[in-house]
Structure 1
Amino acid sequence: MIDYDFTLKFDISALECEPDTFLDQLYEAGCDDAIIGIGRPGRMAMNFTREAKTASEAVLSALSDVQKVLPQAKLIEATPDFVGLTDIADILGCSRQNIRNLHIKYQASFPTPVHEGSTTLWHLAKVLPWFKGKGNYTVKDSLLEIASANMQINLDRQMGDVYTTQ
């Protein structure tokens, strides 16, 4: 069993109660391994450290536990997944400038971004193997596994709202 760290972000605007009313229920439903944040009205983020055999098992079990209590909650995003240059630098423990220079120098082999604009975004699961292959960067297998699981969950959600329960 491995501990996987990830965050699930939900739209809870369809709920007709105050968030404080379901916090104990989430705890009792199995979300006792999560820190719950409710900062913006209609949104909830749950930062999990969940023990499981696989990353997919960890994330799917957390989603199931949340949906037992809040079937109207809509998953917005599972993280870590989408990352910019600064995020990549933070994860790898180096400077943003270093990552930017590598992106420019190895543009032909660097993973293709999912969004380009004022901020360029990549799937972390696509970027980590590239850096691991360079040999100069330490990438935890558990991070690669959770990034891959979250990328798949986010892609599934985008393709058909698979993780919306009502």
Structure 2
Amino acid sequence: MEYTFTLKYRLADDDRDPDAVVERLGEHGCTDALVGIGVVGRLALDFTREADDARSAVLSALGDVKAAIPTATLVEASPDFVGLTDVAEVMGVSRQYVRKLMLENGDFPLPVHEGKSALWHLSDVLNWLVARKGYEPDPALRDTAMATLEVNLAKETRRYGGIVPQDVERQIA
């Protein structure tokens, strides 16, 4: 099956030659990605990768990028973080309809960030839509959203040492 996702990286100072970066990516199997290098020090790779499952597709792409540019730091894997407009686009409905669903259903997934622009994990919203509304999203998108959520959570856990202090854990559990 084919899976579409984006990996965004911060590049080290000595890895900012765009031609060299693109060449190394190609040498290490990233020929199935569109490369975005418009912002100095940043790299975005839009993959369309064939694999048995989304997790394998995302993990193999991460491995290929790491082999090509070992000093690059993963910023985000997507699709993961979405606003209401993004959810509406995926569903093929209006933003207002999604907002109505959110406001009228007390069990709508909690946002990751709440404020002027709230953000959710796409997999949480898709799973809720399937369970509560009988919505049938593209299976590849649903699987990819789960895989990128896993990558982003692992990245953040590693970033903060992988440990949640017990006193904090008791208060948020």
Does structure 1 retain, via aligned residues, the 8 Å contact 2:27–2:68? no
The alignment partner of 1:35 has SS state of strand
User: Any residues of structure 2 matched to 1:11-160 within 5 Å, and which?
Assistant: 11-106=10-105, 108-133=106-131, 134-135=133-134, 137-160=135-158
Given the two structures, how large is their TM-score scaled by the length of structure 2?
0.88
Question: Matched residues in 2 for 1:16 and 1:4: separation?
Answer: 28
1:113–1:121 Cα contact (<8 Å) kept: yes
Q: Residue 142 of structure 1: CA displacement?
A: 1.1
SS at match of 2:20: helix
How many residue pairs get aligned? The number is: 159
Whether contact under 8 Å (2:5, 2:79) holds in the other structure is yes
**Equivalent pair of 1:103/1:110 in contact (CA under 8 Å):** yes
**Secondary structure, in 3 states, of the residue corresponding to 2:44?**
strand
What is the DSSP-based 3-state SS (H/G/I as helix, E as strand, rest coil) of the residue aligned with 1:111?
Answer: coil
- Scaled by the length of structure 1, the TM-score of the pair is 0.91
The farther-off stretch of 79-88 and 7-16 is 7-16
2:30 maps to amino acid: C
Percent identical pairs in the alignment equals 47
Question: How far is the alpha carbon of 1:161 from its aligned partner?
Answer: 3.7
Q: Please state whether the residue corresponding to 1:44 is helix, strand or coil.
A: strand
Equivalent-residue separation in structure 2 for 1:48 and 1:26 (angstroms): 12
User: Which amino acid in structure 2 is aligned with residue 150 of structure 1?
Assistant: T
Deviating above 2 A after TM superposition, structure 1's stretches of 4 or more consecutive aligned residues are: 13-17
3-state SS, counterpart of residue 13 of structure 2: coil
Cα RMSD for the two superposed structures: 1.3
Instruction: Measure, in 2, the Cα distance between the counterparts of 1:44 and 1:12.
Output: 7
